Amino acid sequence: MERTSVKAGRQQGLNTQISSASTASSSNEASRRQDDSIAAQQTQDRAITILTNHQLMMRYAIANDLSVPKVRVYFEKVAAGFDPTPIITKWYPFDE
């Protein structure tokens, strides 16, 4: 009878440890998702700012040796929430 209670006690202890680890893991995942969400929102906001400022968009095109339409399409994709292949290598402020 004592074996059964020891075994039940061990199982309960394992369940508690697993539950604690699971809670910590899910809390870390939620925090990481929130950080990713904030970063994605900031990236989209930056793309919208560049799209609405034509001089800034032209500066990005010139600094990266790209055409303005290509830069516009890239930032439109970013603003829409897509993750296009990066074409911008020089970011503001530009290294002169």
| Helix ranges (DSSP H) in the chain | 2-52, 54-63, 68-79
Question: What single-letter DSSP state applies at residue 92?
Answer: S
Range of the domain at 47: 2-79
Residues 6+ apart with CB under 8 A from 70: 61, 87
Task: Count how many domains the chain has.
Answer: 1
93 lies in some domain = no
Domain membership of residue 91 (yes or no) is no
Within-domain flag for 10: yes
This prediction has a pTM of: 0.63
Q: What is the pLDDT of residues 13-60, one digit of tens each?
A: 656 555 555 565 667 777 777 778 898 899 999 999 999 999 999 999
Answer whether residue 87 is part of any domain: no
CA atoms within a 13 Å half-sphere pointing along the CA-CB vector of 89? 5
State pLDDT tens for residues 55-96: 999 999 999 999 999 999 999 999 999 999 999 998 887 665
CA distance 42 to 74: 16
Q: Is residue 73 in some structural domain?
A: yes
Q: What pLDDT is stored for residue 77 in this prediction?
A: 96
Residue 94 resides in a domain = no
In the prediction, which pLDDT does 64 show?
94
Q: Quick one: how far is CA 83 from the chain centroid?
A: 10
